[in-house]
Structure 1
């Protein structure tokens, strides 16, 4: 098959333009010039370019964005900086809350300072996982899931209905995945609880399961082209046809679909996990007042939520955001009911034992 010629710069330009027509939120029009800055650690496209430009112009607050690609790296960096962090707002996945909270790295969120808190769908803002010790710890902005993404010109839909295809000889050297995330998925493939909640009081069982998964991934290592970290890297490998299929987050995959790339995604029959990204205030944030000004502004309008979905491909948590999406964009953020039945959400109850084992196993797989 002829290799698809695809302009990555054009793709990124298209994604950036999705926020260009944002209506000026009433909150920003009322804001008084505050000055100063706010420092944010977040993923690519989570702060729409048009919103950032408008926010800076109308508040006088400079927004400094540092891109992150891994929750573990972010945790380690924040822990190293305490008690004087350089960051104000960080993007924490809901299932990693406990790790950050128990290490005293986050401040509880004062929702009384957010006049636009009610703009979030209560399915996310009032869910059990978002409240710990009676406190809210983050503002949910986007939700997503771990999927099997595939080039529809190279891989059949039937093949993509099982994770087994990712580890098949047929696609040797043409697959990629985020190894830490795949540890949980391989547990599901083998019939275990990938959240490890069942084993939180049985450390020997937990260690044995992680060892089994580690050995599986080492055995399958000759088949994988690359272990990657971020969504942009996955997109580029797909665009270059370096890979035919791979594990990915649904966001980067949806962004490619919406730009016309021949990609599709499934939630395979063995199951997968969903997650929610939130904006959190760092403990001892140097610009806490500006952080709350930023949070309230970015929550102000469903158009902003839609712009975040358009740019990132993840599903907006904002009420009424879908009315600002095209039919293709809506389609790229939905799945058949029979596949959704295979989905469960990441949980945090066993994170301490889970990640103490998985983080070590990941390094051993990489080093093997």
Structure 2
């Protein structure tokens, strides 16, 4: 090979190597540029991260930062804990006070019951010498002492004397029925003689006595009975206890939680309150089919402060028992005459398997008008069943 050819081949080889080196260099520069861009991006991310760290530090440690908030929450928690401890202590105190109040109320209830029994006994003693004279025609300016003594002498052949004698209550215009006369005899034996002759005359069909006489007894006395505690004792010694008695405060305040829950599950229906002359009337009713259900309803209502604070809670019930017999009854709760009137109203409306309590808060004296209001709202409550 000539020298010219060798030089030419050598030049081509050098050119090729130079081209390869140039390509490698360019590729290396591209790689370096990519690395630089990557490093620049990472540096940017580091800057952003530093900014985030700075912001986080500010959020944590600045005056209104998270650290201060956590401290504030911790302080609040301490304060709340102190409040909770104070409330627990106060609740414990109130529980003790409630137990004291329960004890006081129970004691007062027992004393009131005892006093009521003593009052009944005293009333019975005060009426020991009293008689009631019925259906004796009224006359203008009558002298009852002379008039009654003369009639007893004429029709019963007895000489008696009165300590005092009077007609009961004011005379109502338009009412032709004569008012009952109450007479207190000077001698108790005269009362026994009068009642004995009275029985004989009432058995005599030919007797034309213009009046009849009965003994005066407290309203709780029935058919020559006496009250001993919550028992009605007959002359033969038999004891009658009403199947539905008014719950005592002691019974209501010492009930267990599960017993209260059962009472609260009883479904009841109540009327709106009716107001007249400062009086407030309301009726509440439920379905019943046994004496036990009536008693539970009674307790449920009297545990409700709205009804427990009323002056009177008149209970009336009527249901057909499992044996097919109709049972009914009432508790006047001091509103004498209300129970039997409401019961008659329920019977007239064919109400059955129902118990109703009519609650009254006293206001102005309403007279017989109050009974009509009670009958109306009792019927309304029963019709909801």
Task: Check whether TM > 0.5.
Answer: no
**TM-score normalised by length of structure 2:** 0.20
Name the larger-Rg structure: 2
**TM-score normalised by length of structure 1:** 0.21
Higher relative contact order (CA 8 A, sep 6+): 1
